[in-house]
Amino acid sequence: MLPTTIDEVVAAFESARNLNAALKSFLKREGKGGPQIAAFAKDFRSAVGTGRSATVKHFIENNYPKRELLFVGVVRYVFPEAVESIVSKIVDTYAEEFNSTYTKSDAGVQISNPARFNEIAKAAVGLIEEGLRSAELPVSNFMKNALLVCVFESDVLAAASSLLPGVSSCEVVV
């Protein structure tokens, strides 16, 4: 995934219209995935519930990057329309062709057409940036990561990380 900063994460959540409701939805749907996910969502909601941005920033500072994928997962609930629009555009434009550039087996992802794989992956990042701008959301590495994990399966994202500068692998998508 792309390298991020605490300030990028804070800025993303500060731009949310109703972070508390998004966290409630996240807890309801994703909290069943395990006690750590539920505890994260409850603690984040408590920080947001104080109404103090300093408390939210402190929560993020104490929990990011060790819970990076949970924060990334919350983005889908905070900005559902933008995420759906951007991801749909990428999938509609590139999914079939992109899927033909690699195969998956027990040995992992084997890229059969590295040039086209890389070209489409870079185009996806470009569409993510364009979509974030048009939705008037922060165009940060954190937001790009949130959308990259929605577009690529974790093993494919790991393969893309070897081709895209600045992108490192992601093992678990929440």
What distance in Å separates the CA atoms of residue 33 and residue 60, rounded to the nearest whole number?
Answer: 21
Flag whether 36 is in a domain: yes
Using DSSP, state whether 122 is helix, strand or coil: helix
Mean pLDDT in the chain? 90
Domain span at 44: 6-78
Query: Which positions ≥6 away from 169 have C-beta within 8 Å?
Result: 1, 157, 158, 161
Confidence of residue 155 (pLDDT cuts 50, 70, 90): confident
Closest CA to 101 of 87, 88, 111, 92: 111
The pLDDT, as a whole number, for residue 127 is 97
When pLDDT is averaged across residues 120-130 and rounded to a whole number, the result is: 94
Instruction: Work out the angle at residue 172's Cα, subtended by the Cα atoms of residues 129 and 114, and round it to the nearest 5 degrees.
Output: 60
pTM over 0.75: yes
Are residues 151 and 84 located together in one domain of the fold?
yes
Closest CA to 101 of 125, 123, 127, 120: 120
The pLDDT, as a whole number, for residue 163 is 59
Domain count of the fold of the chain: 2
Flag whether 116 is in a domain: yes
Are residues 95 and 157 located together in one domain of the fold?
yes
When pLDDT is averaged across residues 90-117 and rounded to a whole number, the result is: 92
List the single range of 53-62, 82-91, 128-137, 164-173 with lowest mean pLDDT.
164-173
Flag whether 172 is in a domain: no
Are residues 37 and 92 located together in one domain of the fold?
no
